[in-house]
Amino acid sequence: MNLWISAAGLGAAFAGLTTAAVMHPSSAFGGAVRRGPAGTVSLTFDDGPDPTWTPQVLAALAALDVRASFFVLGDAAANHPELVTRIAAEGHRVEVHGANHRTVVFRSPAALNAELIGVVDRVEALTGRRPRWWRPPFGARPLLGANPTRAGLRLVTWSWSAKDYVLGAAASAALPEVRSGAIALLHDGAGAPSARARTLAALPILVANARAARLAVEPLPDPS
């Protein structure tokens, strides 16, 4: 009985922590960059590469003549290395999301640092460039003090989201106002067609709004 209560309590605590991180990325356990340089808008894509959606996102970006940052999962990169190479070859930056999409909130420092270094090494081997940014799954950084700088990475979240992870969300739903220094969260990983339709529909709107505001649409620059 007591064991059941403890397990239930831990489960509730875990759900609360990850929900807080998704709902409040700017304070997802502190210390994260959430704005880019003034005068720019940075489009960032999580959870890829995906053989169905990543090529469609790349085609949309090429049609708009903009470059973005892709936060890849190491397991997906291992399964689709040609897509990682293509992302870089088309002028985009490849950064680190993690080995997989499991939360790192309770990961030990040693295990997490080893995981990040492994993904960094894989991306560098495929692209010739060492990643510099890490966005943890759900935007939730570890509680146990793991230091991504050991892998040469800086923690980054986002300033607003296209909410293209919401199943059934209308592709034409209102998007947040584009502001100077915005880091936009989108996804090119596996997802429901309605969610990825929102991704693809959001892109021309975001770019048009940014250009109307005289903001450059660029990948995240390397951290200083």
Q: Which residues are catalytic?
A: 46, 187
Of 142, 133, 191, the closest CA to residue 162 belongs to 191
Rg, the chain, Cα only: 17
Residue with tokens 């296209």: 162
3-state secondary structure of 39: coil
Cβ–Cβ contacts within 10 Å for residue 85, how many? 17
| Distance, CA of 162 to CA of 199 (rounded, Å) | 7
CB-based contacts of 60-64 (< 8 A; 24+ apart in sequence): 60/200, 60/203, 60/204, 61/90, 61/92, 61/203, 62/90, 64/203, 64/204, 64/207, 64/217
